[in-house]
Amino acid sequence: MSTARRAPRARRRGRVRAGVTITAAVIACAAAGSLAYAASPMMAEDAPLAHARATVTVTETADAVVLTPDAPGDRGLVFLAGARVDPAAYADKLSGVAASGITVVIARPTLNFAILETRPFAAWEGLAPGVEHWAVGGHSLGGVRACMYAADPANDITGLALFGSYCSVDLSGSGLPVLSLAGGEDRLSTPEKIAAAAPLLPADAVFTTIPGASHAQFGDYGIQPGDGPQDADDAEVRAAITDAMVAFLG
């Protein structure tokens, strides 16, 4: 009788152990899949990157892509890429900014997601020690992380630039100069979403829409699912970004 009673319990314990093993395997596979997904970013297109290299000095390191002007000044911009986007994909769109004398550090974030980045702002400043005045900016989720850097009083930041992005933290009372660039055909960070989040920014924040530009055209990494048409020419988008940013950072 004792043996007969123990047998069902043993079978139940076996089923529980099997269930735990299967659950652990599923979690491990999901985690591995997530890491593989994060580790396969949308890569920079070759032609725009070549144009950037012909315009300014482009240095790629394990931590960032640095755009150095021929005659660097004392101003710099730390820029955070959108989720799963190769930082080098922003080199061309920001090359005109760098050519104006502003050093640009495009951060290479943890697992290609800027929102997961925990390194201090000083980590990016250290990549261009000659720069004295730093602004921060970002595209899409990179802009969300840029807002967090800007909200930290420990960081001496002179301005915030958002490309197809908006803040999730309240900077309305910060007094920080803010430039928000939207794409007229952006179907991800739409102009309407950007307008809805505007109360989180200072009242004098500058909002500019680039006609015909899609979400992905703030970089050069191809078509992004769910985005609008790329009705603007990439050279026009680059020029619009350059004009707005040089005026803002100047």
- CA 41, 45, 50: angle at the middle one, nearest 5? 130
**Residue 82 tokens, joined:** 């959108």
The first and second tokens of residue 92, run together, are 């061309």
Quote the tokens at residue 105: 């550090």
Question: Residue 191, class by beta-carbon neighbours within 10 Å (0-12 exposed, 13-18 middle, 19+ buried)?
Answer: middle
Tell me what pLDDT residue 35 has: 39
Q: What is the pLDDT of residue 5?
A: 53
Taking the mean position of all CA atoms in its chain, how far away is CA 36?
Answer: 19
> 96 and 241 in contact (C-beta within 8 Å)?
yes
Comparing CA positions, the residue from 99, 110, 83 lying closest to residue 91 is 99
Q: Specify the pairing of strand 178-183 against strand 75-80.
A: unpaired
Q: Output the pLDDT for position 34.
A: 36
Q: Which of 215, 208, 213, 250 is nearest to 235 (CA)?
A: 213
Q: Tell me the whole-structure pTM to 2 decimals.
A: 0.85
Ranges of residues in the chain with a pLDDT under 50 are 1, 16-38
The whole-number pLDDT of residue 41 equals 78
